[in-house]
A and B are shown apart, each in its own frame.
Chain A
Amino acid sequence: MTEPSTALVPVPTPLLEVRALLMRFGGLLAVDGVAFDVRANEVFSIIGPNGAGKTTVFNCIGGFYKPSGGQILLAGENITGLPSHRVARKGLVRTFQGVRLFKNLTVLENLLVAQHMQVKNGLLSGLLITRAYRRAEQAAIEHAKQWLDFMGLREYANREAGNLAYGHQRRLEIARCMITRPRLLMLDEPAAGLNPQEKRDLALMIDRIRREYNIAVLLIEHDMRLVMDISDRILVMEHGRPITVDRPEAVQSDERVIKAYLGEE
């Protein structure tokens, strides 16, 4: 007869929901009415020509900018305008366009710093080197080891992060995010500057992380092949406005998207 009614199936709260996001810099509307949601365990990409406002959206979600309007909800909880470190502690961490590692710290120490908030230890227990302190420190190192192995960076553990090869730095940055046990990982152009082989590895790695750690990934990327390969859904932006949100195949054939990228003939 008719299709089964969808009304009875409970619609799960999306992990991240962005509603009518607005970001104004003086007279410039960098983000204008962007709305989308990221579901649990989904790879969601934002694409668009340079200057479309993708990174601004990231900065708004991550709490680095205070949005001029709109709402950001994480698992139903309003996080609009929260300072960035509080957003991060709610399980929403990000990488940056151009790597931002702690270059003078070793690879291992980069991963230890990222666990700073999870290692609950008073100053006094550290000064007195109590057993609980040592155990927590050891656990942090073990956890870091896991991620070094995952990323194939074990042999560089004691090297200063600034001395790593670029591709390794990128991987370390993702490991540093993942070690905080996030719910949503936001990657800002993770493939920039990588060679084709490294890009393929990155795609595999993102997929593996998503499956093994059951997190959602929000991605900004210019490499279309990578985006189309791994995304479940894609938001296309132009001049701060959303053009469409759809599955990769649909986006590829969308005339408005083609127009935005190639210009009008």
Chain B
Amino acid sequence: MLAQLPRALIAAVFAFVILAPIFGLKLVRQGMHSALQPHWNIVLWGCAAVFVVQLLHPWLARLFARVRLPSVPALDEEHHLWAWAAVVLLAVVWPFFGGRSAVDIATLALIYVMLGLGLNIVVGFAGLLDLGFVGFYAVGAYTYGLLYYWAGWSFWECLPLAGAMAALFGFLLGFPVLRLRGDYLAIVTLGFGEIIRLLLTNLTDWTGGPDGISGIPSPTLFGLEMTRRASSPEGQTFHEFFDMPFNPDHMVIYLYLLALALALVTLLVSNRLLRMPIGRAWEALREDEIACRSLGLNPTRIKLSAFTLGAMFAGFGGAFFAARQGLVNPESFTFIESALILSVVVLGGMGSQVGVILAAVALTVLPEVVREFAEYRMLAFGFVMVLMMVWRPQGLLPMKRPQVDL
């Protein structure tokens, strides 16, 4: 332990240097002037913590080496199906007994499941680092928002179109940039996400600028509106049709079920893609592009298919998001959002669909549960990311590719 002493001291000093300006000094307004108010306590505690941890480092490392994170329980094909059926059934039935706010949060979680699974196709399956995924999400959301605002289209008319528009954007962006390798692609996609956001902010005449578009109607159920009163005289509402008293919870549950359905479709499609020739080609391309080319596989086209499909699911997610919020503005589509979706994929385990779903749920539900610590959300988030990268870089549930057996 003595051997660790100098190391621990140095670490504590560095901690002081970093902590002192951030936590130790607070800028306070005193009338006309600002003054620095020292808070040395918190800094000293921080340094002490760093010192102790560094001192006990070898011992802690040994302790953590023994901690085993759970691995996926091995289920055979049939049990697998039953397990999924049980989970889906539970997910369908649960909201009728759950609280309204819980269902609302679950809906949000499902949007992230959808986005996570969509990005998983791009990052996890095809190995393309996309930092501007939120751009496609925005395209989907604004497709619905704008078509409603300018042409009065309904959600169901816009949903396929939102997916198609986002896919088109993915295709148009992907075509020139997918020749680029790893890091360059990441930067271009990052720029794309920002360009979309800036366009939406600045094309004020069309998109309403920073205020966005509001009053976007929620989805209807086979033409039945889920509102207190129908929007037009000939329209009919859900509670009138079924002769029930109006209950705003119906809308919340309906949205939840819709999100569930969309997330399930995303899951099924991406699961199927993985087993198809295109899924194998993505894996092959991720491993060795030169070998792929030597066998006649066109790398640009194969990457483009992943990029376009991923974008399409972001578009569906965006249209749903617009319908749920009732308003869209550029604020919802910042880079942080892209980073969040990417961390869902990385935390879950790139390519692992179950992992991505778990991570999406965890990253949306946990911050809501521990609301008191909302200020530290990003801190905790970063902390978890660092821990994950150190102990389990392959993600919560590492990907297991389905194999074709002979």
Contacts and interface: CB of A to CB of B under 8 A. Distances in A.
Q: Taking chain B's interface residues, is the majority helix, strand, or loop, or is none over half, making it mixed?
A: helix
Most chain B CB neighbours (cut-off 10 Å) among A62, A123, A141: A123
Contact of B278 (A64, A106, A126, A145): A126
Nearest to A115: B277
Given A88-B293, A102-B284, A123-B273, 13 more contacts: A64-B293, A85-B293, A93-B296, A96-B290, A100-B288, A113-B277, A113-B280, A117-B297, A123-B276, A141-B404, A176-B295, A180-B295, A180-B296
A237 interface: no
Most chain A CB neighbours (cut-off 10 Å) among B277, B278, B284, B294: B294
Contacts of B281: 113, 116
A116 to B, nearest CB: 5
Contacts, number: 108
A85 B280 contact: no
Contacts of B293: 63-64, 83-85, 88
Contacts of B287: 102-105
Contact size class for B? 20 to 34
A127 interface: yes
Interface string B386-406: 000000000000000101111
A158 B406 CA distance: 7
A102 B297 CA distance: 13
A44 to B, nearest CB: 19
29 contacts: A62-B294, A64-B290, A64-B293, A83-B293, A84-B293, A85-B292, A85-B297, A86-B296, A88-B293, A96-B290, A96-B291, A96-B294, A100-B294, A105-B283, A105-B284, A106-B403, A108-B404, A108-B406, A109-B403, A113-B292, A113-B295, A117-B295, A119-B277, A123-B276, A126-B277, A127-B276, A141-B404, A177-B295, A180-B296
Contact of A88 (B269, B277, B294, B403): B294
A158 B276 CA distance: 17
A176 B405 CA distance: 17
B294 A84 contact: yes
Given A88-B296, A116-B277, A102 B403 contact: no
Interface in A134-179: 137, 140-141, 145, 148, 154, 157-158, 176-177
A74 interface: no
Given A93-B294, A117-B297, A104 B269 contact: no
Interface of B: 269, 272-273, 276-278, 280-281, 283-284, 287-288, 290-299, 305, 401, 403-406
Given A105-B284, A113-B280, A88 B295 contact: yes
B61 to A, nearest CB: 30
A116 B299 CA distance: 12
